[in-house]
Chains A and B, each alone.
Chain A
Amino acid sequence: MKPLKSNLSSSHEQQEAISNLGEVVLDVRQLETTFTTEQGPIKVLDGVSFQAKRGQTIGIVGESGCGKSVTSLSIMGLLPRPHGQVTGGEVIYKGQDVTKLPPEKLYEMRGDRIAMIFQEPMTALNPVHTIGEQLCEVFRLHRPEFNKQQRKIEAIKMLKKVDIPAPEKRFDVYPHELSGGMRQRVMIAIALACKPDILIADEPTTALDVTIQAQILSLMKDLQKETGMAIIFITHDLGVVAEICDEVVVMYAGRAVEKTNVFELFENPRHPYSRGLLNSIPRLDDKPKTRLNTIEGSVPSLADMPKGCRFYNRCPDRQNKCESQTPVPEMIADDHMVSCLRLKELS
């Protein structure tokens, strides 16, 4: 039995969280994930490393199929079994490797210390339970010392925290009665109910309108300031990255190709893929009806990856060596990693 503690607003706890800003809470080292398919094993993640720090947001950005979501599922131990498996590297949380934790330990940690929100809150929420019931379920699982009344009080507090109007009334409504933006707020309330150290947000605003996206991003920033949680923000939208992230990992076909702070990435991108990605977004100050820059071709299928650099077939700067040699990550500054064979020549 855990000692009885107030879940929210324990000021001592909060003070501690805020004072350790920048401390590494989750250390992902050389993570490798393999899927078993009819064509044999496919390495979906190949040596991805990054750190989530207290009070900071790390973005994982890339196109579909680059392994963004698999990264989050690997951390959470939610890979589809038995096909998906972490086959290398480690994910260190509080001194232990979470990829090797037994299921019941993982079960305890998930939703309590590490929480997650998804793109489509309508599929993540249970349509046959009220949002109040779903919020209380978190407390039932992770705060068994709470009685029914305490659970309800805490749940309503959470709804208030995510700016849901009339939270006492909303406690009894079903997910379909809410708008997309409100549902995502409920998801955030559920995820943050136990004050997690880490929040993994997998494209949380992709399905929302820009105006609602702006609301949700601002809410996430405020809550982060208040609780000091680390956010791992997965997105394909570089505008959103610029808005919310402190650090960014650019992924391509299961590998991290560049990792640096957000300013450096936008002002001094070094990997040809990062450059291509930044160049191809339409900008508001472009002349209308001009051709956009593109990256030719599309992401190769995982079963049919180029042998050397995985960006080889689309890279505007490729040379013969890129076809056969695998690039190794290099640090070009304290916080700037690039993985490109032609790094020295391309500056």
Chain B
Amino acid sequence: MSDVVLSIRDLKQHFAIGGGLFSKKKFVYAVDGISLDVKAGETLGLVGESGCGKSTVGRTLLKLYEPTSGKIFFEGRDITDLPVREMAELRKEMQIIFQDPMESLNARHTVGGIMAEPFEIHGIGTPEERRVWVEELLVKVGLPKTAADRYPHEFSGGQRQRIGIARAIALKPKIIVCDEAVSALDVSVQSQIVNLLLDLQQEMNLALIFIAHDLSVVKHISDRIAVMYLGKIVEIGAAETLYKEPKHPYTQALISAIPIPNPRLRNKRIILKGDVPSPMDPPAGCHFNARCIHATDLCREQRPDLVSVGENGHQAACHLVQSN
């Protein structure tokens, strides 16, 4: 497809730990063979419990981490081994928004200074022009122009996230990774930021990768959703289908665990036993077998592949779905 902005193929990110004088080197299999495509104007949601590798995927595909293996393509061009200088140039096109804007904004600089930085780094415009652009951007994300002369601590959490977004869109990127971008915000403010992202996406034809653990927000903002478990995608499909007809037992449990804001729908949960196993020592066979109520001997021995289970690219990795 021509409008694919970013693709990854069999991406792996293994972090080495230990390996000192007396200890054997071990690996954390944070991302273990993931393939994805994101199109222009599309939001891809990435969900899963903590430790499933969703943030690592987000950072690796922007090459903030060097991938262990696999390929990353930006608009069809292989950028996996791009030299640092060319990669720096390409960073204009790919941006990231973090969870806590207080930590990602430099507290000693004014908002104007923080936001002019992307232009300075890439040598775009004169200081006067930059000032005008910064003010335009502030207005675009719903802040007053005067915000440019104030410091991050003078703003509320929601306003700071708006600043983070303004900085991310400054260079008109093609793709933005939102790493838990609304998770730290209050509900009423969270909905404001979700709306802002939806508006900007429409206006700029942005591709978004939306990483979050709040499944209702992810569903609301995404076109497609990928569910991750221990470094692998276990199910992927259109947002609506995935929530209506989840195929993988893990997706089913995850969706069923969302507390529904309706007191008459209590007590209808699948409650998963135990925690996510350590990504240092993933179980044999299907990674989910120890917590799965349907697990059979086959699940304990053989790892299921991601196969098509429905329309519009709905795929799942589960032996039980395959046998049906």
Contacts and interface: CB of A to CB of B under 8 A. Distances in A.
B269 A214 contact: yes
A209 interface: yes
B275 interface: yes
B262 A242 contact: yes
Interface in B150-193: 156-159, 186-192
Contacts of B253: 211
Interface stretch (A146-154, A273-281, A322-330, A334-342): A273-281
Interface stretch (B62-70, B72-80, B218-226): B218-226
B50 to A, nearest CB: 6
Nearest to B194: A292
Interface range for A: 35 or more
A263 interface: yes
Nearest to B218: A282
B121 interface: no
Contacts of A276: 188
Contact of B187 (A214, A218, A245, A281): A281
B271 interface: yes
Contacts of A243: 259-260, 263, 266
A293 B194 CA distance: 10
B275 A266 contact: no
Nearest to A266: B263
A214 B221 CA distance: 24
Nearest to A265: B263
B316 to A, nearest CB: 18
A338 to B, nearest CB: 19
Given A277-B187, A283-B216, A263 B264 contact: yes
Given A288-B239, A289-B43, A294-B188, A212 B275 contact: yes
Nearest to B217: A282
Contacts of A241: 261
Interface string A268-305: 00000000111011111010111111111011000000
B264 A282 contact: no
Given A211-B253, A239-B260, A278-B261, 10 more contacts: A210-B259, A211-B272, A214-B272, A237-B259, A238-B261, A241-B261, A243-B266, A263-B263, A277-B188, A282-B217
B302 interface: no
Contact of B215 (A210, A237, A240, A289): A210
Given A179-B275, A211-B272, A238-B261, A292 B243 contact: no
A291 B261 CA distance: 19
A242 B187 contact: no
B147 to A, nearest CB: 14
Contact of A283 (B221, B261, B263): B261
A266 B262 contact: yes
B107 interface: no
A212 B51 CA distance: 13
Contact of B271 (A215, A237, A292): A215
Interface in B263-299: 263-266, 269, 271-273, 275
A221 B171 CA distance: 51
A64 B186 contact: yes
A160 to B, nearest CB: 16
A281 B259 contact: no
Contact of B257 (A213, A238, A291, A299): A213
Contacts of B223: 288-289
Contacts of B259: 210, 213-214, 217, 237, 239-240, 242-243
B263 A214 contact: no
Contacts of B159: 298
B274 to A, nearest CB: 8
Closest CB pairs A-B (n = 5): A239-B259, A292-B191, A63-B186, A295-B188, A282-B220
B271 A218 contact: yes
A220 interface: no
A288 B187 contact: no
A236 interface: yes
Interface string A127-142: 0000000000000000
A182 B264 CA distance: 29
A211 B222 contact: no
A181 interface: yes
A188 interface: no
Nearest to A263: B263
A211 B276 CA distance: 10
B49 interface: yes
Interface in A100-151: none
Contacts of B198: 289, 291
10 contacts: A63-B189, A209-B50, A210-B254, A212-B275, A214-B269, A242-B265, A288-B219, A288-B239, A290-B220, A296-B192
Nearest to B258: A210
Contacts of A296: 192
Given A63-B187, A210-B254, A211-B49, A262 B215 contact: no
B261 A239 contact: yes
Given A210-B215, A214-B269, A277-B187, A292 B258 contact: no
B275 A288 contact: no
B49 A209 contact: yes
A339 to B, nearest CB: 19
Contacts of A289: 43, 198, 220-223
